[in-house]
């Protein structure tokens, strides 16, 4: 049963004042015990997922009990991005080098690297990969490298690895208009949290990640006098100019792709706002879409990829409707969904965080849920992104 948005009583004088007080004051309604639990649980899962590689590098696996014996590039970015204050930056640096040690000769960044050092380039099983590689891993590697540099100030490390990181970005297939492109006749895997989905043509989420990666590479490159700054900015600008071809004028949302799976992308539409490619009026339309479709996209504070009971049109692997990436609800997108909803309804945005915390306290952290369905207990990104959503949206609640 979906978690319903709780109706508010008639507005009192104090209620009226609360509407005009700054959000930073209202945000204190997030209970102290919830904040303490969230930080403690994030720390516990981050510690539980650490394993040691063959070379002594500490790796963070996707689950908080270390079952998956590999370091996933996309998962690691989210951990560092949203909970990097709880991580050892020297370990982060060595883990980035560990991923880069598996870079293919053509520049392809691994989807994951096993603890024994073996790189795997595509989602899927080691012996039965879904494709040749994943289109997002170049951007994810660039993003985690930039996140490390921004947190540590280690400009020297950026200089050392920039050429490899740029090669990873260069390897990503893009159309002449700058958007990341997936060939319908020979599709690769796309955004890692929809990697079983065959989206083709111009891609939304992959292009947004690429844009953000280029922007961050340009910003750090400007500090190091990198010769590639103008190129990074040009790549980002092309995406800014052309991302509108994926916009749905009727709703203000974005389509996931423009060939296979030309469907409204719930996560991606909110992320377009997160990376700064959505004007204010469109951001409010995206927020309103969430509110208008609340019971079909939100459950216990967590969010589906698609609206209602819709399922993806084309898949690498069959999944039942309502399960996994084909209709379950995830906490992963909360760091960019919560802020866009807060533009028009900050109470509802805060309620998402409270509902997710309440659910995880009662049932444990999971990768995704739907009613009685739960997948991957102790899913680390599920909690790091919730932790990041709370910190990012309510800055006054950051621990000192």
In a domain, 2, yes or no: no
Question: What tokens were used for 133?
Answer: 């590689």
CB neighbours of residue 41 within 10 Å: 20
Q: What is the pLDDT of residues 27-59, one digit of tens each?
A: 445 688 999 999 999 999 999 999 999 999 999
CA separation for the pair 370, 298 (Å, rounded) = 10
β-strand 112-114 against 302-303: which pairing, if any? unpaired
- Mean pLDDT score of the chain: 92
Q: What is the pTM of this model?
A: 0.91
Residue 273 vs residues 18, 212, 270, 282: alpha-carbon distances, Å: 26, 12, 5, 9
Q: What is the pLDDT of residues 311-350, one digit of tens each?
A: 999 999 999 999 999 999 999 999 999 999 999 999 999 9
CA separation for the pair 271, 335 (Å, rounded) = 9
Give the model's pLDDT for residue 70.
96
Terminal Cα-to-Cα distance of the chain (whole angstroms) = 38
- Name which of 3-17, 101-115, 240-254, 274-288 the model is least confident about: 3-17
Question: What tokens were used for 283?
Answer: 């951001």
Give the model's pLDDT for residue 17.
40
Question: Mapping DSSP to helix (H, G, I), strand (E, B) and coil, where does residue 370 land?
Answer: strand
Q: Nearest 5°: CA angle at 70, between 69 and 76?
A: 130
In a domain, 8, yes or no: no
CA separation for the pair 140, 384 (Å, rounded) = 16
In a domain, 216, yes or no: yes
In a domain, 113, yes or no: yes
Whether residue 224 is predicted with pLDDT greater than 50 in this model: the reply is yes
Torsion over CA: 89, 90, 95, 98 (sign): positive
What residues are paired with 52 via a beta bridge? 58
Question: What tokens were used for 317?
Answer: 């692997």
In a domain, 27, yes or no: no
In a domain, 114, yes or no: yes
Structural domain for 320, as ranges: 33-397
CA separation for the pair 50, 346 (Å, rounded) = 36
In a domain, 301, yes or no: yes
Are the beta carbons of 205 and 268 closer than 8 angstroms? Answer: yes
Give the model's pLDDT for residue 392.
67
CATH code of the domain in which 250 resides: 1.50.10.10
Sequence-distant (≥ 6) Cβ neighbours of residue 175 within 8 angstroms: 181, 202
Are the beta carbons of 339 and 393 closer than 8 angstroms? Answer: yes
CA separation for the pair 287, 396 (Å, rounded) = 23
Number of domains forming the structure of the chain: 1
CA separation for the pair 203, 200 (Å, rounded) = 7
Give the model's pLDDT for residue 393.
53
In a domain, 23, yes or no: no
Q: Higher model confidence: residue 11 or residue 390?
A: 390
């Amino acid at each position: 049963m979906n978690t319903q948005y709780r109706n508010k009583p008639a507005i009192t004088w104090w209620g009226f004042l609360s509407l005009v007080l700054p959000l930073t004051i209202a945000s204190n309604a997030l209970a102290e015990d919830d904040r303490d639990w969230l930080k403690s649980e994030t720390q516990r899962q981050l510690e539980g997922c650490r394993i040691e590689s063959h070379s002594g590098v500490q790796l963070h696996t996707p689950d908080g009990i270390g079952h998956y014996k590999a370091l996933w590039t996309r998962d690691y970015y989210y951990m560092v991005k949203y909970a990097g204050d709880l991580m050892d930056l020297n370990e982060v640096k060595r883990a980035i080098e560990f991923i880069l040690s598996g870079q293919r000769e053509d520049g392809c960044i691994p989807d994951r690297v096993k603890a024994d050092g073996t790189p795997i380039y595509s989602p899927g099983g080691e012996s039965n990969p879904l494709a040749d590689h994943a289109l997002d891993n170049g951007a994810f590697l660039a993003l985690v490298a930039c996140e490390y540099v921004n947190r540590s100030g280690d400009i020297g490390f950026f200089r050392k690895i920039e050429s490899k990181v740029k090669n990873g970005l260069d390897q990503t297939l893009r159309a002449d208009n700058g958007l990341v492109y997936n060939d319908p006749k020979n599709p690769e895997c796309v955004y890692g949290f929809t990697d079983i989905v065959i989206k083709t043509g111009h891609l939304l989420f992959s292009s947004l990640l690429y844009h953000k990666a280029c922007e961050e590479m340009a910003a750090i490159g400007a500090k190091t006098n990198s010769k590639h700054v103008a190129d990074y900015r040009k790549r980002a600008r092309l995406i800014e100019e052309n991302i509108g071809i994926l916009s749905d004028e009727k709703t203000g949302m974005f389509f996931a792709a423009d060939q296979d799976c030309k469907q409204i992308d719930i996560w991606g539409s909110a992320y377009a706002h997160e990376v700064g490619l959505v004007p204010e009026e469109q951001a409010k339309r995206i927020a309103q879409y969430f509110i208008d479709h609340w019971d079909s996209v939100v459950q216990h504070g967590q969010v589906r990829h698609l609206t209602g009971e819709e399922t993806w049109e084309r898949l690498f692997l069959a999944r039942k409707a309502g399960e996994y990436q084909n209709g379950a609800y995830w906490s992963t997108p909360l760091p960019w969904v919560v802020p866009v909803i807060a533009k028009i309804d900050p109470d509802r945005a805060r309620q998402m965080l409270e509902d997710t915390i309440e659910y995880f306290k009662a049932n444990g952290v999971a990768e995704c849920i739907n009613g009685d369905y739960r997948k991957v207990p102790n899913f680390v990104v599920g909690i790091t992104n919730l932790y990041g959503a709370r910190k990012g949206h309510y800055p006054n609640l950051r621990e000192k």
